[in-house]
Amino acid sequence: MSSNGSKSPPWGLRWRSSTLFITATVGIGLFTDLFLYGLVVPILPFILQDRVSLPHSQIQSHVSALLAAYAAASVLFSIPAGVIADRTSSRQLPFLVGLVALLAATLMLVLGQSVPVLVLARVFQGISAAVVWTIGLALILDTVGPEDLGKTIGSIFGFISIGELAAPVLGGVVYKQSGYPGVFGLGFAILALDFIMRLFLIEKKTAAKYTDTKPNNSNQEPQPNDPDDEEATESSPLLTQKEDELKPYTIPPSQPKPIRAFPLLYCLSNPRLLTAFLLAFVQATLLSTFDATVPTLAESLFGFDSLKAGLLFIALVLPYLLLGPLAGWTVDRYGTKPAAVLGFGYLVPVLILLRLASPGGTQEVIKYCALLALNGVGLAIIGSPSIVEASSVVQRYDKANPGFFGANGPYAQLYGVNSLVFSLGLTLGPLVSGGLKDRIGYGNMNIVIAALCAVTAVLSFVFVGGSPRLLGG
């Protein structure tokens, strides 16, 4: 019998609320967002030319504007998405609303005959991205808890990287073979799968209402003064130690109205949290730098067309796919500092080695693929430390200040800010790297990016995971 005694459990409760299904649903949601984004990008110039009848001289500027509209909407709506999610009783409802925005965007791209409609479509895509990344990551933390967050994020990021890789290639190939109907037919098929999975999803806390077990919410720990804890007296020194560790995270009462409205603002004074956001920003900058420079370099060095240039990304993404879960497991096992310091430190020399890329035939292509694969290993290592570190810091604030962040905690707000920072990196990466590549060359551009990774590695050593012991931490 169900614990509430009045309602029968929903159909398929066990598998619909299982950790595997929830994780897969979030993974498909993130995959769909990246896949549809990449699927549309290669055909935007053709949409502007065929449907809007723009002159050729204006197409590049309008493509850039459409890309900027997506990024700007994602930045602007990330924090509101987090606030709404933390103030609603269910993550599922806003998660579904985000998919509705993506469906509306796709329909506008199919039917749009003017620039304003296409811009609005990209804005809706950006809103959907803000929602799915904010709500999705919060839902993952609700489901697996902080202990397995790194491994889970590493696995998901490895999976969704396939979408990031395959979408532009598939978009170009399908458009060439079957035009717009083929491209958008593929998009709607993935949207349908995503919608069904989000609709079937049952959150752990909802499933707990129909069972005799409590939800597996690892964000909550037994209170030190729990009268049912028979070992409270014996473990009191440990409990006191935990209380002492949480003292720096205590928030004084009578905070100003902006902080009461968005409590995460207070946490932004913590250098560990700021460094975690820096990791996310640099990670996104690196990913978008490769997206922006690999195709143009492949064309200039090897004479590759867009399809062959897209295939080069396999060398970059395959190590990410294979090593992401392992790298996430090491973060869960050994903490965020080793992965952050070693990952960004490792990227310094392998980024510099990219200057060895030279014009030529098969041998030079193989050499460049090997260099990309080395960088893919580094991207896998830095895939999860930022999320895990930020979650760890905010979790301490949540435990030290019961009720301050509301019933659902601050995690959707946190991932809203993280989505904002990540979107900024995705936006600025191509602009900065493209400008540097044009002015100082591809090799020197990578030296600048490597220097950014070196600074990030040093800051990670000082702040991520707490101050190192040799600095008095």
Quote the tokens at residue 311.
């295939």
Q: What is the pLDDT of residues 92-106, one digit of tens each?
A: 788 888 888 888 988
The number of helix segments (H) and strand segments (E) in the chain equals 18, 0
User: What pLDDT is recorded for position 223?
Assistant: 37
Q: How far is CA 473 from the centre of its chain?
A: 30
Q: Residues near 210 by Cβ (< 8 Å), separated by ≥ 6? A: 2, 3, 4, 7, 8, 9, 10, 13
Residues 195/99, Cβ–Cβ less than 8 Å: yes
Quote the tokens at residue 315.
């060398």
Topology agreement, domain 10-207 and domain 262-473: yes
| Domain definitions of the chain by residue range | 10-207, 262-473
- DSSP, res 89: S
Residue 470: which H helix or E strand, with range?
A: none
Reply yes or no on whether the pLDDT at 434 is more than 90: no
Reply yes or no on whether the pLDDT at 350 is more than 90: yes
- DSSP, res 251: P
Residue 45 exposure: Cα atoms within 13 Å on the Cβ side = 9
* Most distant CA atoms of the chain, gap in Å: 79
Q: What is the pLDDT of residues 213-259, one digit of tens each?
A: 555 544 444 333 333 344 444 444 544 545 667 777 888 888 788 88
Tell me the percentage of the chain whose pLDDT exceeds 90.
Answer: 16
Of the given ranges (62-76, 322-336, 364-378), which has the lowest mean pLDDT? 62-76
- CB count within 10 Å of CB 86 equals 25
10-207 CATH choice from 1.25.40.10, 3.40.50.2000, 3.40.50.720, 1.20.1250.20: 1.20.1250.20
Residues 466/473, Cβ–Cβ less than 8 Å: yes
Question: In 145-270, where does DSSP find H-type helix?
Answer: 149-200, 204-207, 236-246, 257-261, 264-267
Residue 331 confidence class, pLDDT cut points 50, 70, 90: confident
User: What pLDDT is recorded for position 60?
Assistant: 61
Residue 82: which H helix or E strand, with range?
A: helix 56-87
Q: What is the pLDDT of residues 58-83, one digit of tens each?
A: 776 777 677 778 877 888 888 888 77
204/450 Cα distance (integer angstroms): 42
User: What pLDDT is recorded for position 282?
Assistant: 94
| Fold that domain 262-473 belongs to in CATH | Growth Hormone; Chain: A; (1.20.1250)
Question: In 112-148, where does DSSP find H-type helix?
Answer: 115-144
Mean pLDDT, rounded, for 20-29? 90
Q: What is the pLDDT of residues 383-401, one digit of tens each?
A: 889 888 998 898 888 888 8
pTM, to two decimals: 0.76
Reply yes or no on whether the pLDDT at 47 is more than 90: no
